[in-house]
Amino acid sequence: MGQPKDLAQIATFIQTLITQRGKVAKFDATTPLFTSGLLDSISGIELIVFLEKNYDLDFFKIGIGPEDINSLEQIHSLIAK
């Protein structure tokens, strides 16, 4: 888990979420996704579901929230565990 291909897949999913919100924006590993307004709470739920489904995570069990996935870098740290 947590390999570069995983990050590319996650980045593509995030870009899709951003585009669905009608935004045109590029982001890198450290770009704040939620606090910058690129993603909203609905997008956050979609991202959490995506991560739980694809990386066998349970956000409720491990006590992770949107503040812990505010950047691709934070997501990488989470899935690399």
Structural domain spans, the chain: 4-80
Mean pLDDT of 42-69: 90
| Residue of 24, 54, 55 lying closest to 38 (CA atoms) | 24
Residue identified by tokens 């690399």 is: 80
pTM: 0.87
Q: Please state which architecture CATH assigns to domain 4-80.
A: Orthogonal Bundle (1.10)
| pLDDT value of position 74 | 95
Tell me the per-residue pLDDT of 19-28, one tens digit each, with 9 for 90 and over.
998 888 889 9
Rounded to whole angstroms, the Cα distance separating 36 from 46 reads 17
